[in-house]
A and B are shown apart, each in its own frame.
Chain A
Amino acid sequence: MKVLVPVKRVIDAYVSIRVKSDGSGVDTDNVKMSLNPFCEIALEEAIRLKEAGTATEVVLVSIGSADIETVMRSGLAMGADRAIRVDADNDIEPLAIAKILKHIVEKEEAGMVITGKQSIDGDNNQTGQMLSALLGWPQATFASEVAIDGDSAKVTREVDGGLETIAIPMPAVVTTDLRLNEPRYPTLPNIMKAKKKPLDVIALADTGVDAAKRQTVTNVSPPEARSAGVMVGSVTELVDKLKNEAKVI
């Protein structure tokens, strides 16, 4: 079984982002970029499936401009066998991403797709579900445990009430939640090896997908700031403030 892992480059989770003053977006110049953490978890899961003999090949796919290749190489260093970049703008909507991925899944005859549940920049939480719907495959989102047994799988999902386990036939789309695994760090020899692993580039036009935008971001602004609070010196003072000033208890 070939496993396809779509990954996305995002501003690193630990960077404080800056909203541009003209309202056009978020400053991405000279900012540390990383693989989306949920995509790292997806990749780790795929690599473990290969190590367990369940998967035969792990193919990384990312849609974006040439500057995303650096983080794609770190995905290869983690252990993906090869990578495909679909050359396109970096601000394509999830629906178009899902259509492009569908094309790649069919071309590669993949038997499973593992995506992140959300990317930490767009926070859309859509792509995996859309891909599953377009492929007509079952979906298992927010996975915290994946057990594949031949033609079927059992996936435990993190849901609002706790955990839910579903049974689905393969092929399927799985999206990852935080507790699925702890991604490995690439070792130095693997970083070196990754430089030589194949990274093919496909033109957007060759996928036949119309990626025209349906949405316009008319403004990006910082959230309302909270006004500064006060430090209290004791529990007694805290209780007094909550009762008599904030009146919340």
Chain B
Amino acid sequence: MSTLVIAQHDNAELHASTLNTVTAASQVGGDVHVLVAGSGAGAVAQEAANVSGVAKVLHADADHYKDGVSVEIANLVVSLAADYSHIMAGSTTSGKDMLPRVAALIDSSQISDIMAVDSADTFKRPIYAGNAIATVQSSDATKVLTVRPTGFDAAELSGSADVAVIEGPAANGTTSVVGRELTVSERPDLGAADIVVSGGRGVGSAENFKIIESLADKLGAAVGASRAAVDAGYMPNDYQVGQTGKVVAPNLYIAVGISGAIQHLAGMKDSKVIVAINKDDEAPIFQVADYGLVADLFEAVPELVDAL
């Protein structure tokens, strides 16, 4: 039994979700190998070799792996699949985009977004926006799994695996990345932050989101948003927390001007401590909050910034 973990990275650094995925792989038992497919990503392969629990790193370097295009990465993974009992990637947009291709091409039924490993063939996963947890047993010879990062601790960085250089199949070449508009931020990554401050429709405008940002900066926190805030253009799409956005589980989640719809709760209710600030004392967000404050956010948040 052995597991292949597909590393996520930007050719410079390993993405934090890979560390959680390695932990899930270790829980399955058997050897854990990590695939780093990139262009000029030698440093990433080295970083992956340092992850505890990793027995071997496979490093494929080619131009067509530079942008992480799923068609290319999936073909490479398929070429390696016969050696593995399990293939895993983090439930990030890259993992979700790529791994079902692998599953289809090797005729395996994928299990998405696992949050617990019960045994080598049985896993827990959330369904219905996390309002139910299904235990799913797979009979496929090769198990293909995306891993919810918040379900597993990050693996430590005290390993020393060998890096093997491998060649992948020729480029498929159909898909090219022609533009990127990535959010540049000094703040911590939303998915991995210790503290998250999120704003909702109640914040009222993109301009007003500065209030949320100032609280985040005071706490060294990441900023998140509800779908309503993203739809209204207050914040970019990658800030959306929820069933169909990002799933976060920080030590502290502060929801400001967010009502607490089930789709939003799906993305944050596993946070350790939840604070809600809302002017409506009947807002459903208070049902999951450890500390609720009924107040106008335009008064309470600046006051909070001053008090910290």
A residues engaging B (CB < 8 A)? 11, 13, 16-17, 19, 26, 38, 93-96, 98, 117-118, 120-127, 129-134, 138-139, 141-142, 144, 154, 156-169, 177-179, 213-223, 226, 229-232, 234-236, 238-239, 241-242, 246, 248-249
10 sample A-B contacts, Cβ–Cβ < 8 Å, listed by A number: A130-B101, A164-B179, A166-B176, A179-B230, A218-B122, A223-B133, A230-B292, A235-B293, A235-B307, A239-B308
B residues engaging A (CB < 8 A)? 69-71, 74, 92-94, 96-105, 107-113, 122, 126-140, 174-183, 191, 195, 219, 227, 230-231, 236-238, 243-244, 246, 251-252, 262-263, 269, 272-275, 286, 288-295, 300, 303-304, 307-308
Within the complex, the shortest CB–CB distance from B302 to chain A, in Å, comes to 9
Tell whether, in the assembled complex, residue A95 and residue B275 are in contact, meaning their CB atoms are under 8 Å apart.
no
* Cα distance A215–B236 in the bound complex, in angstroms: 37
Tell whether, in the assembled complex, residue B110 and residue A126 are in contact, meaning their CB atoms are under 8 Å apart.
yes
* Cα distance A123–B289 in the bound complex, in angstroms: 25
Tell whether, in the assembled complex, residue A163 and residue B126 are in contact, meaning their CB atoms are under 8 Å apart.
no
**Residue in A96, A133, A154, A248 whose beta carbon sits within 8 Å of that of B251 in the complex:** A248
Which 8 residue pairs of A and B lie closest in terms of their CB atoms, listed nearest first? Answer: A129-B100, A165-B179, A130-B104, A214-B109, A229-B290, A133-B101, A126-B100, A133-B104
Within the complex, the shortest CB–CB distance from A126 to chain B, in Å, comes to 4
Within the complex, the shortest CB–CB distance from A105 to chain B, in Å, comes to 14
* Cα distance A93–B191 in the bound complex, in angstroms: 29
Within the complex, the shortest CB–CB distance from B54 to chain A, in Å, comes to 23
Given known contacts A141-B97, A160-B93, A248-B252, is B112 in contact with A126 (CB within 8 Å)? yes
Provide the residues of chain A in CB contact with B136, threshold 8 Å: 215-218
* Cα distance A154–B178 in the bound complex, in angstroms: 9
* Cα distance A122–B244 in the bound complex, in angstroms: 12
Provide the residues of chain B in CB contact with A226, threshold 8 Å: 269, 274, 288, 290
Provide the residues of chain A in CB contact with B107, threshold 8 Å: 95
Given known contacts A123-B113, A178-B227, A239-B304, is B132 in contact with A130 (CB within 8 Å)? no
Given contacts A138-B71, A160-B93, A214-B140, 16 further A-B contacts (CB under 8 A): A95-B107, A123-B128, A124-B112, A130-B100, A134-B104, A138-B175, A161-B182, A161-B183, A165-B180, A221-B135, A226-B290, A231-B293, A235-B293, A246-B290, A246-B291, A248-B272
Closest B residue to A161 by beta carbon equals B182
Tell whether, in the assembled complex, residue A235 and residue B300 are in contact, meaning their CB atoms are under 8 Å apart.
yes
Majority secondary structure of chain A interface residues (helix, strand, loop or mixed): mixed
**Residue in A98, A134, A178, A219 whose beta carbon sits within 8 Å of that of B135 in the complex:** A219
Provide the residues of chain A in CB contact with B97, threshold 8 Å: 129, 139, 141-142
Tell whether, in the assembled complex, residue B262 and residue A16 are in contact, meaning their CB atoms are under 8 Å apart.
yes
Given known contacts A124-B112, A235-B303, is B70 in contact with A229 (CB within 8 Å)? no
Tell whether, in the assembled complex, residue B137 and residue A163 are in contact, meaning their CB atoms are under 8 Å apart.
no
Provide the residues of chain A in CB contact with B112, threshold 8 Å: 123-126
* Cα distance A221–B135 in the bound complex, in angstroms: 8
Tell whether, in the assembled complex, residue A166 and residue B177 are in contact, meaning their CB atoms are under 8 Å apart.
yes
Give the most central of A13, A123, A162, A179: most B CB within 10 Å. A123
* Cα distance A51–B225 in the bound complex, in angstroms: 34
* Cα distance A220–B128 in the bound complex, in angstroms: 11
* Cα distance A162–B99 in the bound complex, in angstroms: 20
**Residue in B94, B139, B295 whose beta carbon sits within 8 Å of that of A214 in the complex:** B139
* Cα distance A235–B298 in the bound complex, in angstroms: 12
**Residue in A129, A215, A246 whose beta carbon sits within 8 Å of that of B111 in the complex:** A215
Tell whether, in the assembled complex, residue B178 and residue A129 are in contact, meaning their CB atoms are under 8 Å apart.
no
Tell whether, in the assembled complex, residue A232 and residue B104 are in contact, meaning their CB atoms are under 8 Å apart.
no
Tell whether, in the assembled complex, residue B178 and residue A231 are in contact, meaning their CB atoms are under 8 Å apart.
no
Closest B residue to A128 by beta carbon equals B100
Tell whether, in the assembled complex, residue B175 and residue A163 are in contact, meaning their CB atoms are under 8 Å apart.
no
* Cα distance A124–B74 in the bound complex, in angstroms: 18
Tell whether, in the assembled complex, residue A95 and residue B104 are in contact, meaning their CB atoms are under 8 Å apart.
yes
Closest A residue to B17 by beta carbon equals A160
Give the most central of B137, B175, B246: most A CB within 10 Å. B175
* Cα distance A49–B280 in the bound complex, in angstroms: 42
